[in-house]
Amino acid sequence: MKSSLVFTHESTRSMQYAIHDSPIKLLVAAVEEVGPAAQALGGILVLTTKSTFTEAKKIASQARLPPKTFRNQLQILQSAGWIQNKGRQTTRTGRARRTNTIELTHRVHDGLKDFLPLPQSAAAAMLKETWSTRVIWAVVVRRVLELTSGLKHRHPEGFEWSELETVKRLEMLGSDRFGFSISLLQRRTGLSRDSIIAARHRLAALKMVCAREGVGHQDSTILIPNWSLKLVTRYYEGDRVAFRWG
């Protein structure tokens, strides 16, 4: 019989924290070509930009993916030329390692400058959500980070702003700054128009965004983060954690 997890305590974090959490880098070129497998690649990038012999289960944890899903996506990445599975390499003493070595190819290095940041804690909270929902959220996160960076470089004192002040400044920019062309999203994510619209509705249902169509523009959608939403972290005995929105 499986033992049940023993809950110990929980903590809450702001949406700002959730957005600025350490990201899983979804390389845009990989997103366009291999879709969901880009998240597995992002999990590897959490650990290395060269090669790793880390156990697949541990890399899957970094990617915030089930181990079976991660292994399936590794095969897709290898077939597409993003990684090479070098098999069991040897240690300096000549003994075979227990795990395979995964080496990142030049395609990864070429694509590192253009990525969509999927925050790790948000990815964990969205584990059961569709790929389209996760990648569109990463698009929203990238926009927030770009706007925040621009504000703080125009206002040097911005680096001392509180989370509340930063949010106020972002809101003052106007909702149009959170507008996205659906045709552009299609090109950047490889998603169909229907999938993008479904992801928008799902993010709104999760209360992660305030979503609506762009005024007077059928090809645009506005996705503003719901700044009042909290990221809840639940802790269990044995160093187990779970994330949810609340």
User: Global pTM?
Assistant: 0.91
For the ranges 12-26, 129-143, 158-172, 205-219, which has the lowest average pLDDT?
205-219
Number of domains in the chain: 1
Domain containing residue 34: 7-245
pLDDT of 74 > 80? The answer is yes
Q: Which residue has the tokens 């619209």?
A: 197
pLDDT category, 1, cuts 50, 70, 90? very low
Say if 154 falls within a structural domain. Answer: yes
pLDDT of 2 > 60? The answer is no
pLDDT in tens, 136-153: 999 999 999 999 999 988
pLDDT in tens, 192-226: 999 999 999 999 999 999 988 766 556 888 999 99
Neighbouring C-beta atoms of residue 10, cutoff 10 Å? 14
Q: What is the mean pLDDT of the chain?
A: 92
Say if 2 falls within a structural domain. Answer: no
pLDDT in tens, 21-40: 999 999 999 999 999 999 99
Say if 1 falls within a structural domain. Answer: no
Q: Which residue has the tokens 């928008």?
A: 200
What integer pLDDT is reported at residue 159 of this predicted model?
Answer: 84
